[in-house]
């Protein structure tokens, strides 16, 4: 049955949140589970149920890719180029191959091909222990014809000229009539150059895989965000290598983070499969921390210039921007995204003024809200500078210009919860003392992400995303998806939706994720997983429920459609039975249904994505230049919240990563060697427990009307705002903007000096 054969009936749904709820009409496909809306009473969804695999993880029982082992399994390691640019002139693997115990040695780059960055893959070995692998790597002879390289994007072709303050000096390109006119009638105009550094994903579980061949069938246990994507990638790679490969199955039951770096199998994924074939044994290949920092992608650097103007009434009437991305050798992925929702009244440049610059370094990969934290930092700080120049409270300026009704509420709520006015006033008053060592500042910024998931059919007519629900005779319930849980709490999405539909507790459902033998789903990226899969997970449970209701109806002597599933019972009028007793009617074969992912409903959704607002208070030590975040608040929606605690955790985590981006994190490449100087956890500083202040998160459960459960994803949105809010708080504290991340003591002291010089 195809959803297109059905005529979708129109249905009225209450969408929105709080005082913003209104009735709208949607086309709901026939056969879908009856959609939830703002009036639906839910008992498991949005409850404080524990994360589905929380105890497995905390107890050490959870087996991640790094933890997988098989009898006779070999270890593997990769030889990487020590130069940033040049040609591979000679590669001799024979000495390594002849070492006792070394089971396989393969070339990953052909002689004569170009080395593109320090860490480029050259060859790989497999041997019983990692120590032996490293011995074998040392026995490989690789010779290079080195060429000149550039690893600093400000020295790349096409980079603009900066003055001593780091400001772009080139005149703006012609802005066109409308924008020029808007600037001409402005009351206040500001302009500034903003910069962010390369941030690495630094997942705690590095990239890695275990490959195991059984005749022509390949099983790969991989730390990946895209089980189905890497399945296809490896299948193709094995064929390209001329290997007979009947099937590829990916397993990623537990994944130790990804943040965008694990969408591809990469050279290491292909290598481990080839080594396992060559060695005729299972092989494990796990990258070390230095490789993880230097060879598995990053959030690229950004250079941005903005100019913005307000009129007498405080409307942002003109906005101009140009930007450059500091990318790796492929020169891709360096775009920026800014809070357009604040610029609805502004005249803008018509053509996009952005250029990605290539360097001889590891290429960018998507990283949590790609392009957004960079652009939001620059643009939100520019807006605060505009507010200060115009003598307007920055929150008031946002409230006046933001086009999103829900965010306007979030600003109000946030200001109240955070004590915005009092804290701003107290900080300003403390500043009156010119000898005060510590300054305080308070800032805010907005968040957004525009994704409500997809049906997985692409442009084609295929079956789309799936999910399976099974109810067994013994009362156990399974919810299964081949998509992966990278730590987001996707397994709780499986358990909570299934339990809600069946009227049982979340702990009664066993969630399984990450095996490509189960129905397909999207990669865990762009906040698409929950939005895309929640409706089909719920639909699978809905179909199982109907089957179980039929069996129970016969037993109870009532009509199947009169049975209600709630509180662990199946009830119809005065008669009822427990869920467990109903399951006993099932027989040896479980009820097993695959859900259908109907397209998102046609109709005017409440929001095209999700939105949020964040607040931060900082303390600046004027003697040392050290910035400490004192407290933070996030208000965030993600459609109807399916798994409350994991959702809150994701927002908290986004804020903490934002502290790192704002204050600490930067990849430092040595210009001479092209090598990363801080490729470890000692010198590349991700936030630690002592860097993290008390934080509060308020989740708003918003009925959007786009699917049967109105769920939206959450990974990206809160990531947009955190660094921006902190930078704005630092600006408020110092009275002078620090326009370059990370806000390290040297930059703070320079800003204090500049402020003093005024």
Partner 1 sequence: MTKDLHDGGAFSRRSFLKGASAAAVGSAALHANADAHQDGPKSYAQGAHAIALTVNGKEHRLQVETRTTLLDALRDTLDLTGAKKGCDRGACGGCTVHVDGLPVNACLMLALDAQATQITTVEGIGRPGHDHPLVLEFARCDAMQCGVCTPGMVMSSLHCLQTNANPDRASVQRAISGNICRCGTYGRICEAVAGAAKRMQGEKR
Q: Which of residues 482-501 bind partner 1 (CB under 8 A)?
A: 486-489
Within positions 626 to 645, which residues make up the interface with partner 1, using CB under 8 A? Answer: 645
Q: Which listed residue (138, 416, 429, 670) binds partner 1 by CB under 8 A?
A: 138
CB of 685 to partner 1, least distance (A): 10
| Contact predicate 318/188, CB 8 Å | no
Measured in whole angstroms, the distance separating CA 222 from the mean position of its chain's CA atoms is: 19
CA nearest neighbour of 42 among 468, 506, 450: 506
The answer to whether the CB of 128 falls within 8 A of the CB of 101 is yes
Binding to partner 1 by residue 60, rule CB under 8 A? yes
Least distance (Å) between residue 295 CB and partner 1: 10
Check residue 456 and report its DSSP letter: S
* Residue among 306, 449, 329, 454 nearest 380 (CA): 306
> Smaller CB distance to partner 1: residue 230 or 248?
230
- Across-strand partners of 357? 326
Beta carbon of residue 233, minimum distance to partner 1 (angstroms, whole number): 22
Q: Which residues contact 296 (CB under 8 A, 6 or more apart)?
A: 201, 206, 207, 261, 262, 266, 287, 362, 365
Q: How far is CA 498 from CA 36, 37, 470, 545, 643, in A?
A: 14, 17, 10, 10, 12
Task: Choose which of 10, 30, 34, 61 interacts with partner 1 (CB under 8 A).
Answer: 61
Q: CB nearer to partner 1: give 289 or 569.
A: 289
Give the residue, chosen from 21, 64, 332, 457, that forms a contact with partner 1 under the rule CB under 8 A. 64
Closest to 290 in 3D by CA, of 686, 683, 672, 663: 683
* Residue 409 touching partner 1 (CB under 8 A): no
Strand pairing class (74-80; 283-286): parallel
Is residue 674 a contact point for partner 1 (CB under 8 A)?
no
Helices 717-734 and 420-430, interaxial angle, to 10°? 30
Which residue in the set 35, 522, 599, 679 belongs to the binding site for partner 1 (CB under 8 A)? 679
Among 190, 238, 499, 656, binds partner 1 (CB under 8 A): 656
Task: State both tokens at 198.
Answer: 């390369």
3-state secondary structure at position 183: helix
Task: Provide, rounded to whole angstroms, the least separation between the CB of residue 58 and partner 1.
Answer: 4
Tokens encoding 291:
């490789």
**Rounded to the nearest whole angstrom, what is the least distance from the CB of residue 632 to partner 1 in the complex?**
10
> Cβ 153 to partner 1, closest distance in Å?
23
Q: Does 172 bind partner 1 (CB under 8 A)?
A: no
DSSP assignment string, 24-64? EEEEPPTTSPPPP-TT---SSTTS-PPPTTHHHHHTT----
Among 33, 79, 308, 316, which residue sits at the site for partner 1 (rule: CB under 8 A)?
Answer: 79
688 binds partner 1 (CB under 8 A): yes
Report whether 705 contacts 601 (CB < 8 A): yes
Element at 614 (helix H, strand E): strand 610-621
Nearer to partner 1 by Cβ, of 1 and 689: the residue is 689
Judged by CB, which is closer to partner 1: 185, or 683? 683
Would you give the distance in Å from CA 8 to the centre of its chain?
A: 34
Token pair in block for residue 255: 């994944």
Beta strands in 215-339 (DSSP E): 217-222, 247-251, 283-286, 301-310, 316-326
| In the complex, minimum distance from the CB of residue 200 to partner 1, in angstroms, rounded to a whole number | 10
Distance between CA 666 and CA 198 in Å, rounded? 5
From candidates 108, 140, 616, 717, binder to partner 1 by CB under 8 A: 140
Sign of the Cα torsion 640, 494, 656, 301 reads negative
655 touches partner 1 by CB under 8 A: yes
690 binds partner 1 (CB under 8 A): yes
Question: Judged by CB, which is closer to partner 1: 172, or 681?
Answer: 681
- Euclidean distance between CA atoms 662 and 740, whole angstroms: 9
Cβ proximity to partner 1: between 63 and 510 the closer is: 63
373 is a site residue for partner 1 (CB under 8 A): no
165 token code pair: 């303050």
Distance from CA of residue 191 to its chain's centroid? Answer: 31
Q: Residue 46, interface with partner 1 (CB under 8 A)?
A: no
User: Is the Cβ of residue 118 or residue 218 nearer to partner 1 in the bound state?
Assistant: 118
Q: Closest distance between partner 1 and the C-beta of residue 274, in Å? A: 20
- Judged by CB under 8 A, the chain residues 202 through 261 that form the site for partner 1 are 202-206, 254-257, 259
Least separation, in Å, of the C-beta of 661 and partner 1? 12
For the segment 694-713, give every residue that binds partner 1 (CB under 8 A): 694-695
Phi, psi of 20 (to 5 degrees): -95, 10
669 binds partner 1 (CB under 8 A): no
Q: Which of 686, 698, 749, 750 contacts partner 1 by CB under 8 A?
A: 686
- 51 part of the interface to partner 1, by CB under 8 A: yes
Q: Based on the shown chain and the rule CB under 8 A, indicate whether residue 650 belongs to the binding site for partner 1.
A: yes
User: Residues 275-314: x/- map of binding to partner 1 (CB under 8 A)?
Assistant: -----------x-xxx------------------------
Least Cβ distance, residue 76 to partner 1 (angstroms) = 13
Residue 721 interacting with partner 1 (CB under 8 A): no
State how far the Cα of 384 lies from the Cα of 365, in Å rounded to an integer. Answer: 30
């Amino acid at each position: 049955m195809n959803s297109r054969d059905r005529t979708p009936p129109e249905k009225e749904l209450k969408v929105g949140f709080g005082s913003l709820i209104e009735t709208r009409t949607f086309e709901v496909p026939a056969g879908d589970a009856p959609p939830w809306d703002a009036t639906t009473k839910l008992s498991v969804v949005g409850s404080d149920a524990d994360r589905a695999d929380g105890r497995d993880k905390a107890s050490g029982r959870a087996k991640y890719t790094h933890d997988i082992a098989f009898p006779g399994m070999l270890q593997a390691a990769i030889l990487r180029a020590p130069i940033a640019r040049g040609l591979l002139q000679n590669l001799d693997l024979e000495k390594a191959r002849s070492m006792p115990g070394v089971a396989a040695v393969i070339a990953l780059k052909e002689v004569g091909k170009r080395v593109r960055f320090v860490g480029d893959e050259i060859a790989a070995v497999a041997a019983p222990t990692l120590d032996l692998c490293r011995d074998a790597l040392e026995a490989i002879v690789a010779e290079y014809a080195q060429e000149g390289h550039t690893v600093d994007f400000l020295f790349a072709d096409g980079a603009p000229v900066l003055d001593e303050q780091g400001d772009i000096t080139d005149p703006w390109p012609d802005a066109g009539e409308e924008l020029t006119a808007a600037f001409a009638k402005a009351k206040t105009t500001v302009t500034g150059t903003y910069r962010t550094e390369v941030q690495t994903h630094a997942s705690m579980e590095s990239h890695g895989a275990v490959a195991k061949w059984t005749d022509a069938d390949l099983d790969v246990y991989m730390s990946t965000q895209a089980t189905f994507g890497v399945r296809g990638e490896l299948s193709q790679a094995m064929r390209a290598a001329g290997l007979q490969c009947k099937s590829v199955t990916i397993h990623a039951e537990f994944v130790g983070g990804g943040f965008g770096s694990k969408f591809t199998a990469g050279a290491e994924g292909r290598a481990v499969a080839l080594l396992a074939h060559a060695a005729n044994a299972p092989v494990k290949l796990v990258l070390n921390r230095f490789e993880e920092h230097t060879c598995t992608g990053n959030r690229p650097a950004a250079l941005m210039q903005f100019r913005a103007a307000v009129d007498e009434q405080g409307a942002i009437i003109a906005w101009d921007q140009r930007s450059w991305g500091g990318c790796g050798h492929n020169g891709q992925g360096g775009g920026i995204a800014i809070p357009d929702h604040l610029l609805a009244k502004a005249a803008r440049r018509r053509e996009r003024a952005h250029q990605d610059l290539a360097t001889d370094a590891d290429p960018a990969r998507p990283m949590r809200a790609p392009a957004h934290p960079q652009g939001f930092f620059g643009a939100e700080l520019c807006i605060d500078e505009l507010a200060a120049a115009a003598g307007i409270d920055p929150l008031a300026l946002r409230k006046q210009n933001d086009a999103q009704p829900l965010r306007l509420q979030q600003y109000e709520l946030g200001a109240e919860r955070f004590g915005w006015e009092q804290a701003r006033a107290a900080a300003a008053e403390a500043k009156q003392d010119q000898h005060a060592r510590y300054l305080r500042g308070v800032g805010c910024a907005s968040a957004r992400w525009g994704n409500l998931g997809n049906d997985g059919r692409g442009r084609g007519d295929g079956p789309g995303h799936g999910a399976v629900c099974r109810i067994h005779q013994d009362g156990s319930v399974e919810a299964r998806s081949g998509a992966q849980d990278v730590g987001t709490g996707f397994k709780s999405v499986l358990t909570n939706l299934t339990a809600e539909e069946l009227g049982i507790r979340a702990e009664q459902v066993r969630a399984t994720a990450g095996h490509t033998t189960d129905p397909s789903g999207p990669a865990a990226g762009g906040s698409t997983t929950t939005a895309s899969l929640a409706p089909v997970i719920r639909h699978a449970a809905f179909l199982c429920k109907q089957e179980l209701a039929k069996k129970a109806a016969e037993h109870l002597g009532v009509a199947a459609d009169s049975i209600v599933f709630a509180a662990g019972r199946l009830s119809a009028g005065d008669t009822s039975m427990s869920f467990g007793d109903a399951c006993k009617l099932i027989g040896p074969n479980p009820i097993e249904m695959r859900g259908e992912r109907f397209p998102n409903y046609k109709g005017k959704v409440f929001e095209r994505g999700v939105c949020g607002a964040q607040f931060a208070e900082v303390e600046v030590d004027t003697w040392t230049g050290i910035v400490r975040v004192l407290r933070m608040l996030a208000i965030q929606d993600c459609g109807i919240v399916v798994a409350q605690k994991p959702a809150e955790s994701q927002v908290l985590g986004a804020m903490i990563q934002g502290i790192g981006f704002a204050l600490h994190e930067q990849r430092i490449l040595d210009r001479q060697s092209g090598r990363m100087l801080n490729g470890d956890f000692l010198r590349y500083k991700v936030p630690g427990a002592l860097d993290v202040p008390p934080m509060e998160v308020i989740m708003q459960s918003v009925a959007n009307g786009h699917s049967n459960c109105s769920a939206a994803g959450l990974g990206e949105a809160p990531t947009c705002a955190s660094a921006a809010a902190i930078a704005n708080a630092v600006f408020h504290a110092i009275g002078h903007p620090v326009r370059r991340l990370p806000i390290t003591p040297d930059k703070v002291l320079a800003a204090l000096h500049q402020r003093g010089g005024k």
